[in-house]
Structure 1
Amino acid sequence: MTDIKQPPSKTRAIWRPVASTVVGVAVLVGAGWWWTHPDALPSAYGASVEADPRPYRTGVVWTAELTAPGHFPSEGVLTLRSVDVRLDERHETEATIEVLRCTAIATDDGGHLSVGFGDERPSAKYDCIPAVDGTLMGGQDQLVAVLTPEVPGIYVLRSATISYRLDRSGLWRRGTDSTRLHAAVTYS
């Protein structure tokens, strides 16, 4: 008796290229998502602080920490593209917000002293510069918002959206991360 070979099924012949295409598209979509979502900031990062009410005077400032030292890559460099700080929309208050890149100060015990929250601009010892497009950030840098109210009122910082590009150690990936905040101060 002779074995009769049957031709390959037409269904099988059609599904192979379709399956290969679907797998290829899935890999490309996954790689594209990975490339555009480097997540340089921890997703759980956020801060909450209520400052004591303070008298309103022209030029009075309040400083709020947007990120802490150690939240940016410890290896390599991150280049800022933009930082957008949002005030709570429920309050009809206006303020000028300046974002700074400050460097934490190393302490004798191996820790670091960050800018934090306060009622004055960060001192010169923190080596602060405006956080604009092209600003480089390393592991001991932090972002700080300096709020200058334009009228008396309640000012609540709600979020900061940070767009950046990683260097060679991060494969030059670009991303955008947001921090959640509840940093409130009242000027009366």
Structure 2
Amino acid sequence: MQQEETATASSGDFDYVITLKSPGYKHVNIVSQVLLLIFLTAYFYYLIRLGMFGTNLWLVVIPLLIIGLWLYGWVRSADKSFQVNYRMELMVAAMAWMLLPLAKYHVWFGVGYAIMSVIERWVKFPDEIGFTKEKVVRNSFPKKKYEWFEIDNVMIRDNIFTLDLRNNHIIQKELDEPVSAELIAEFNAYCKEQLHFRI
């Protein structure tokens, strides 16, 4: 949770920004890695079969770029705060599928890889909720905005964030990291004031 004074640039318009715990992305990462392995295998197969290495050495740049980005993410993954993404590699593969006559339906493969790149970005969106005195905004795709009169209650207790809407929908998740008791009390008082003001 961040206050405006300590918030990142993206949260500068909010009084508070709550970052909720993200689920593990193991399955998403496995799908992305499998797709990249399929692309690299098919790519090298067709290049060798069609004899395209001789006169088009620049084509080697595509797999080298993908492998380089992949290795960079793998090295950085030693830092637990670093989130590994494969969307750039998937987008490079998508462009390669579309631009090179690798297979009969190569363009459709390219579209599929581009869609997967977008999906990976969407799935790995940071789950943040920003608070101002006018509204509450959840950083989802697309963004969700709530007016204070739509909210029945909002609070943090035992490192669990709860937002209870008047339409009986509840958002309840663990915070990304522990927050001091003083900041929690300040946030809860802030929300209580906004809710009381809207009654």
> Smaller-chain TM-score range?
under 0.3
TM-score (norm 2): 0.23
